Amino acid sequence: MSQLIQIKVVSDVVCPWCLVGKKRLEKAMSLYNGKAEFKVTWKPFFLDSELPREAKNKIEHYNNKFGREKVPLLLDRMKKVGKDEGIEFSFGGEIANTITSHRLIHYAGLKGDQNKVVDELFADYFEREKNIGSIKVLTEAAERAGLNGQEVKEYLEGKQDEKEVFEEAKNTARNYRISGVPFFIIENKYAISGAEDPQTFKNIFDKILKENEGKETVAPKANEAESCAKDGSGVC
């Protein structure tokens, strides 16, 4: 019987390193066919909770945040990193506050499966250049992920669970001292900060499996990798 390994991913939808980290986590998980099963739960994080809910031009936002001369270099590097992970980063379109997208991810969790919704949201924002602050865009993403579009639309048009999502983000960041994402919490015992390589995840998964076999090993060091931080580092 395969063992269940539970993983919490703290992430923001507008964080490119979160998408990179997701791809690397999935590469590591794919190595355990039949030996382990994984349950991934997504937790909210706000890189900029002050972003307006009305969308604004993404490139202009980056220019104001990082400087016009720096932005092309940052985006070019991010595109190169993305290609290695099968991501076609495209940085056109608009950016808006991510509270509504986090509420959709929360709603998907109540319905049983967040991962398909997360996939659609990342693809919408980073590859399709869509505004993930738009209820229409979010509803369409939810429908592609198998949720009832009308129910999702009605949910997002209200304020249900908004306070709870903000509180969850605040408490998670405080409890785990998180200042940047992605941040991975594995079995409530190990933590990885940043988009680490698949081998780092594998080291921890192997340790967990051996621990449950009654064998002691030296705990792997979870090094910090590249991430998006509230202080403005990363293309976020």
Q: Residue 229 pLDDT > 80, yes or no?
A: no
Question: According to the model, what pLDDT value does residue 220 have?
Answer: 41
DSSP-assigned states of every residue in 192-236: EES---HHHHHHHHHHHHHHTTT---PPPP------EETTS-S--
pLDDT tens for 90-115 read 999 999 999 999 999 999 999 988 99
Predicted confidence band of residue 219 (pLDDT cuts 50, 70, 90): very low
Predicted confidence at residue 213, as pLDDT, reads: 78
User: Residue 190: what pLDDT?
Assistant: 96
- Percent pLDDT > 90 in the chain is 86
Q: Which tops the pLDDT comparison, 218 or 162? A: 162
* 182 cis-preceded (ω within 30 degrees of 0): yes
Task: Judge whether 85 and 43 are in contact, CB under 8 Å.
Answer: no
User: What's the pLDDT at 234?
Assistant: 62
179-188 pLDDT, tens digit per residue, is 999 999 999 9
Q: Tell me the two tokens of residue 108.
A: 């998907």
Q: What's the pTM?
A: 0.91
Q: What is the mean pLDDT of residues 218-230?
A: 58
Tens of pLDDT, residue by residue over 127-179, are 999 999 999 999 999 999 999 999 999 999 999 999 999 999 999 999 999 99
Closest alpha carbon to 175 in 159, 164, 191, 162: 191
**pLDDT digits over 20-46, tens only?**
999 999 999 999 988 899 999 999 999
pLDDT at 217: 42
Round to whole Å and give the CA distance between 151 and 29. Answer: 32
Instruction: Convert the pLDDT of each residue in 49-95 to its tens digit.
Output: 999 999 999 999 999 999 999 999 999 999 999 999 999 999 999 99
**In the chain, which ranges are continuous DSSP H helix?**
16-29, 58-66, 71-84, 99-111, 115-126, 135-144, 149-157, 162-176, 198-211
HSE of 193, CA atoms in CB hemisphere, 13 A:
11
